[in-house]
Structure 1
Amino acid sequence: MESMETIYESQFKKGAYPFFKKLRQEQPIFPMSQQSDQSTWLVTKYDDVKELLKQPSFIKDQKKLFQTAANQAKSDDVNIFENMMLDVDPPDHTRLRKLVQPFFNPKTIKQLEPRIVEIADQLLAQMEQKSSPVDLIDDYAFPLPIIVISELLGVPSEDRDRFRKWSNTIIAASNEFETDFIEDVEAFTSYLTSLFEERKQHPQDDLITKLLQAEEEGEQLSKDELYSMVVLLIIAGHETTVNLIANTMYALFQHPDQLKKLKDDPSLVEPAIEEGLRYYSPVDFSTARWAQEDMAFHGQTIRRGDLVLASISSANRDEDKFENPSQLDITRSRNAHIAFGYGIHFCLGAPLARLEGKIALERLLSTFPQIHLSENNPEWRTVFLLRGLEHLQIQTKS
């Protein structure tokens, strides 16, 4: 097996799927790296990934395993990554999710449909005024979900370009982004502080006001949890949906027979979205989980403190679960993909992402029936966790 560094540089995005297939066949629980006494594992088969995601012995909160100076330090400064819902275990996870779950249940989300249609049509009208080619991501796939989540939270949607920059920096955080990372986190925190103060003075019927009220009650939400929750909702509320819309359209462009099938029968839009989620999953890998104890896991010995990652993209192309998994089939009848995860950390925003994706494709193909790709090889973003395109240049007319 090649080293993970070589894999990342040469194959990770463009050649990921053949590599994942090789791992599923030869080493489905793959030791990516080892430092001192800690190993990092990559899990690639569908059933193994589901087991990992629901197994209580794989925990999210690394503070339970590693006591660091950062854990011990006390500060009045806000830490937007402290106790983020994505990185905690029950009972904290249960408490935090319960606070926001009512805003994202299918019945509540369904009520947003007329407004999402309105936003989509406004963006498409702006695209009609532009000369081709246009960038489907910059002009449509990005602004649609960021406007929706901004309105739901109660943050000004005109700040969406700042959210995009901050989001990109945080998601791509590594040593090479260290300067931008610190600056952008501080800018994001400062922005939220001002917004929270304004909302305390002038409460609105929005999610931020509800979270502020929960924070004031003390036991439901701490100060750090408040900041972390809003950051998470802004980032998660648009990042995966941008990828869902653009990746699905790219897959359809790559499979003209499937695109024609959808144009001829628009009722296939919902299964097309599900197949897009499976084929080019918006999230390549789950976020980190840690082994709470030594254990045997499908032929490998995983030690306490080992880092374990689930390959969502690999699981969704598993030959043992999906027939002809490398083929895009928008009429696929058995499509139990796990693009939104599995278990207690199943994506809270899945109903919203599905609705936005459905409306986005419906309105796009209705407005531009002659839409086609204007570049052969768009570049994938080099963000480890996510699968999304940098740009997707399209022609809106024949």
Structure 2
Amino acid sequence: MTPTLLHQILDYANRADPYPVYEELRKTPVHHEADGPYVISTYYEIRSLLHDPRISSDARNQASGADPLAESSPEESALPPSFLRLDPPEHDRMRRMTNRHFGPPHSPRRVDGMRPELHSIVDGLIDGLADPGRIDLVEEFSYPFPVTVICRLLGVPREDEARFHTWADTLAASLDPDPDADPAERGKGAHEARMELGMYLAGLIEERRKNPGDDMLSQLATAKGPDGPMTTMELLSTAALLLIAGHETTVNLITNGMLTLLRHPDVLQRLRTEPRLAVPIVEELLRFEPPVQLLPGRTTLADVDVRGITIPKGSTLWLVLASGNRDPRRFENPDRFDPDRPDIQHLGLGSGIHSCFGAPLARLEAQLALSELARRLENPRLLDDPPPYRQNAVLRGPRHLHIACDGIRPRDA
């Protein structure tokens, strides 16, 4: 019996290369199987739906059990929903309050001002690579980098960063289940990590309210803007979102990026001598190998017509961003990795009101990480291709990326 396309999307056997499945999926831009979600796979239709106010991101509008990927939500927890899983006007208020302390116009230098610190973290991780003959880039670099950045952004004391790493490890494992592990034990561990993280953050928030610094958590905790202050629960939800959702996507972006560059040594060599190429490389990576493959958990609030198909009110949608990014109706030679592509209006960070909140930071992290790895690793090469992938069908990336190099250049070489 031939597996359905829905089954093939979820099938781990296709994780290393899901793109032939997506190509088949695009032949039916609105794909629907009995009792399953409506799966949208083409660029223009996905982009339109991301901007459509009739499409809800609020899990409270979704019928129970309607989405087999509902548990893959990166901020799933006992906390109230983050603004990622809210609709206007609640979404707009929470996002506006958070953005006052993260980006323009109120905090225009928040991200760019972290550049020297990011550079220092990257250099320290590369200096610490123990064995150039066998490096696990995930474990030794792309995994610890973003969580350290989030700690610095929020103002977590240096002596507590190790605890944050432990919680991030546990929560990440809950998003990427080991099929041989006991699901009850995994769930218990994730619940305990969320509770410990929540209690720690609650204490840190109270401390920052009494003794604010110049970190983002202090500013969120003491803000008195036009939308009023955030409640403690809203602050906890927002901080957890920054840690979990922001961390996982950046890990995959960096790892997918290095894997792609090692498969395209001509581009890797160019990056070594042209560091500014990191900007278009990261944009093309977000199109070619996006860290978020699809957005589950969307619900129609009214009947919606897509390519002549009426999707009824109350239906569940999957928007397959990675398929839209390879749509030949939108991109010429879509299966070719080309950082010189003149128009890279990808869907890799979403679009519309729910476009990736942390996009400026994720972009900068990936640009610095890839350019320094290209510059400092001598003759890097893959040891396993394809590498072992994470189980998660939504947040797609290698679980390990084993590479070797002939040596590591000094920081100032």
Match of 2:410 in 1: none
1:137 Cα deviation from its structure 2 partner: 1.4
Match of 1:74 in 2: none
1:256 Cα deviation from its structure 2 partner: 2.3
AA at the equivalent of 2:300 = A
Report matched runs for 1:138-217 at 5 Å. 138-155=139-156, 156-172=160-176, 176=183, 177-214=186-223
AA at the equivalent of 2:172 = N
1:123 and 2:125 correspond: yes
Residues 364 and 289 of structure 1, relative CA distance in 2, 3 Å threshold: same
Which is worse superposed, 98-107 or 268-277?
A: 98-107
Match of 2:236 in 1: 227
Deviations 1:9-29 (A, max 9, x none): 25441341001011112x111
Report matched runs for 1:315-394 at 5 Å. 315-394=324-403
1:19 and 2:28 correspond: no
AA at the equivalent of 1:19 = V
8 Å CA contact 1:104–1:352 kept in 2: the answer is: no
Question: In structure 2, how many angstroms separate the alpha carbons of the residues matched to 1:152 and 1:49?
Answer: 32
AA at the equivalent of 1:87 = R
AA at the equivalent of 1:317 = R
8 Å CA contact 1:372–1:394 kept in 2: the answer is: yes
1:265 Cα deviation from its structure 2 partner: 3.3
Deviations 1:341-377 (A, max 9, x none): 0001111111111111111112111111322212222
Question: In structure 2, how many angstroms separate the alpha carbons of the residues matched to 1:88 and 1:110?
Answer: 28
AA at the equivalent of 2:136 = D
- Structure 1 residue ranges (4+ consecutive) displaced by more than 4 angstroms after TM superposition: 64-68, 172-175, 214-219
Match of 1:76 in 2: none
Residues 181 and 267 of structure 1, relative CA distance in 2, 3 Å threshold: closer
Q: What SS does the aligned partner of 1:103 have? A: coil
Residues 53 and 126 of structure 1, relative CA distance in 2, 3 Å threshold: same
Match of 2:45 in 1: 48
Question: In structure 2, how many angstroms separate the alpha carbons of the residues matched to 1:108 and 1:190?
Answer: 26
**TM-score, length-scaled by structure 1:** 0.88
1:83 aligned residue (81, 84, 91): 81
Q: What SS does the aligned partner of 1:112 have? A: helix
Question: In structure 1, how many angstroms separate the alpha carbons of the residues matched to 2:173 and 2:40?
Answer: 26
AA at the equivalent of 1:84 = S
Deviations 1:93-125 (A, max 9, x none): 111111121333263311111111111111111
| Unaligned ranges ≥5, structure 1 | 69-78
Question: In structure 2, how many angstroms separate the alpha carbons of the residues matched to 1:171 and 1:217?
Answer: 36
8 Å CA contact 1:291–1:307 kept in 2: the answer is: yes
**TM-score, length-scaled by structure 2:** 0.85
AA at the equivalent of 1:394 = I
Which is worse superposed, 273-282 or 216-225?
A: 216-225
Residues 278 and 22 of structure 1, relative CA distance in 2, 3 Å threshold: same
Which is worse superposed, 259-268 or 347-356?
A: 259-268
1:307 Cα deviation from its structure 2 partner: 1.1
Match of 1:71 in 2: none
Which is worse superposed, 95-104 or 45-54?
A: 95-104
1:264 Cα deviation from its structure 2 partner: 4.3
1:214 Cα deviation from its structure 2 partner: 4.5
8 Å CA contact 1:80–1:227 kept in 2: the answer is: no
Residues 81 and 287 of structure 1, relative CA distance in 2, 3 Å threshold: farther
AA at the equivalent of 2:119 = V
Question: In structure 1, how many angstroms separate the alpha carbons of the residues matched to 2:389 and 2:61?
Answer: 35
1:230 Cα deviation from its structure 2 partner: 0.8
| Unaligned ranges ≥5, structure 2 | 66-76, 408-413
AA at the equivalent of 2:49 = L
Q: What SS does the aligned partner of 1:288 have? A: strand
Question: In structure 1, how many angstroms separate the alpha carbons of the residues matched to 2:190 and 2:147?
Answer: 21
Match of 1:278 in 2: 287
AA at the equivalent of 1:121 = D
Q: Structure 1 or 2: larger helix share?
A: 1
May I ask how many residue pairs the two structures share in their alignment?
Answer: 382
Residues 336 and 299 of structure 1, relative CA distance in 2, 3 Å threshold: same
Residues 32 and 104 of structure 1, relative CA distance in 2, 3 Å threshold: farther
Residues 227 and 339 of structure 1, relative CA distance in 2, 3 Å threshold: same
1:262 Cα deviation from its structure 2 partner: 2.7
1:395 Cα deviation from its structure 2 partner: 1.0
1:239 aligned residue (248, 256, 260): 248
Question: In structure 2, how many angstroms separate the alpha carbons of the residues matched to 1:264 and 1:360?
Answer: 15
8 Å CA contact 2:301–2:314 kept in 1: the answer is: yes
Question: In structure 2, how many angstroms separate the alpha carbons of the residues matched to 1:32 and 1:10?
Answer: 20
